[in-house]
Amino acid sequence: MDEKLFKYLKIFASRSDFEFIIEKAWKYMEKLDEECQDDRMTCTVRPLCEKRRWLSILIKSGVNEANIPRFCYELQVKIVNRMLEQEKYFYEPEDCAIYLDDFFLLISQGAPYTLAKMLENEEYDDISWKIEGYFRTRFNKVLALDLGESLILYVDEKLWLFDYIGNYMIYNVKDERIISKSILLALIKTMNRYYKHEVKVYEQATDAWILDLVLFEIGDTQIAQDKTFKEFLANGIGDIAPFAKSVNFKIEENKAHLLMEVKAYCGVPQSIYEAEPVTFGEITGVFKAMNDFKETMDEWIEKNRASLEKTPESQKTTESG
């Protein structure tokens, strides 16, 4: 879709224009659903709506369950169950949504209706405690971010979102918008804890922040002039550049810093000129990229430590000797 048309429809389209577009899209997707479900192999292995994206949209929007494509949904529930069992599927699921009642059946076969009753009674703290406990018994590394009416779990580098008001959960959250700066900061703190880093946040502007990660301490700032180090750094920054608005490296007070500028606009745009809101997937992607970069750099530094610790004076002495 043309970017200008997309922004216009999102902000300025009249109700009738918007309804026209939605109606056409709905009819098209209904036809696509029928075609996909008539060919069960295609629906299972390579669904026509790209990883069941349309199904997840229907669930998140709260449409009547009668309008949910049943076979496709049954497969989605099985996919979530496979992820709980740490088994692979034909493709890597993203933004994979199912109803909470069905999720409760997967994790609490003995008493799923107890969780459903707790949801009905708005006992969100207790539900979060039970869900988190379930994950901690099955996965290696779990961190929780309790937002009251929702729960976020970062589990073995995959984000799970449980929306108690919407009555759905999402596995491997990517495209969900972060609706407030407080949630963004809380997510950054959670990522810091998960990767055991101390990433400082500099609020450069309302729509962009700088994440500052100390990579390592150095005894000689001449390391920045080392040819092999500069080559390694250029390649490494090139690999992580797609995850941020900009990437920089600096040496300050004998510490090497990685600086990544990330989107920080939260909420819903009120104008076509406003920045696109940051998503959960963008933030988790940045932190994973930073962590991978640091681990690779640590290995490289250790491997090349002897040559890097040679000062220009010692190198000259060796050469003259």
Q: Let me know if residue 98 belongs to a domain.
A: yes
Task: Give, in order, the Cα–Cα distances in Å from 49 to each of 44, 55, 56, 88, 318.
Answer: 12, 8, 10, 20, 65
Per-residue pLDDT of the chain (321 residues; tens, 9 = 90+): 566 666 666 666 677 887 888 888 889 998 998 899 899 899 888 988 989 999 999 999 998 888 899 999 999 999 999 999 999 899 899 999 999 999 999 998 767 688 999 999 999 999 999 999 999 999 999 999 999 999 999 999 999 999 999 999 999 999 999 989 999 999 999 999 999 888 999 987 778 899 999 888 776 556 667 788 888 888 888 889 999 899 998 888 888 899 999 988 887 766 665 678 899 999 999 999 999 999 988 888 888 777 666 645 444 444 444
- The CA angle 267-268-273, to the nearest 5 degrees, is 115
Got the DSSP string for 202-218?
A: EEEETTEEEEEEEEEE-
Q: Are residues 186 and 160 in the same domain?
A: no
b/e map of 25-60 (b: 16 or more CB within 10 Å)? eeeebeeebeebbeeeeebbeebbbebbebbbebbe
Q: Are residues 106 and 141 in the same domain?
A: yes
- Of 74, 281, 267, which Cα lies nearest the Cα of 171? 281
Q: Let me know if residue 28 belongs to a domain.
A: no
Q: Let me know if residue 274 belongs to a domain.
A: yes
Q: Are residues 230 and 305 in the same domain?
A: yes
Q: Are strands 158-163 and 150-155 parallel, antiparallel or unpaired?
A: antiparallel
Distance CA 17, CA 209 (A): 36
Q: Are residues 67 and 152 in the same domain?
A: yes
Q: Are residues 127 and 191 in the same domain?
A: no
Q: Let me know if residue 264 belongs to a domain.
A: yes
| Domain end call among 144, 171, 198 | 171
| Domain end call among 129, 153, 171 | 171
Q: Are residues 47 and 136 in the same domain?
A: yes
Q: Let me know if residue 14 belongs to a domain.
A: no
Q: State which amino acid sits at residue 118.
A: M
Q: Let me know if residue 54 belongs to a domain.
A: yes
Helix (H, G, I), strand (E, B) or coil at 143: strand
Q: Are residues 250 and 290 in the same domain?
A: yes
Q: State which amino acid sits at residue 247.
A: V
Helix (H, G, I), strand (E, B) or coil at 268: coil
> What's the structural domain count of the chain?
2
Q: How far is CA 155 from the centre of its chain?
A: 11
**Residue 141 pLDDT:** 94
Entry pTM: 0.85
Read off the CATH number of the domain in which 204 is found: 3.30.1460.10
Q: Let me know if residue 46 belongs to a domain.
A: yes
Structure tokens, 79:
């996919």
Q: Are residues 206 and 157 in the same domain?
A: no
Distance CA 277, CA 263 (A): 7
Q: Are residues 155 and 191 in the same domain?
A: no
Q: Are residues 55 and 108 in the same domain?
A: yes
| Domain end call among 171, 193, 226 | 171
Helix (H, G, I), strand (E, B) or coil at 37: helix
Q: Let me know if residue 13 belongs to a domain.
A: no
Q: Are residues 190 and 218 in the same domain?
A: yes
Contacts of 241 (CB under 8 A, 6+ apart): 247
Distance CA 70, CA 237 (A): 45
* Residue-number span of the structural domain to which 232 is assigned: 181-310
Q: Where are the alpha helices (DSSP H) in the chain?
A: 3-11, 15-38, 40-45, 53-61, 70-84, 100-107, 112-120, 124-136, 181-195, 227-240, 280-303, 305-308, 312-320
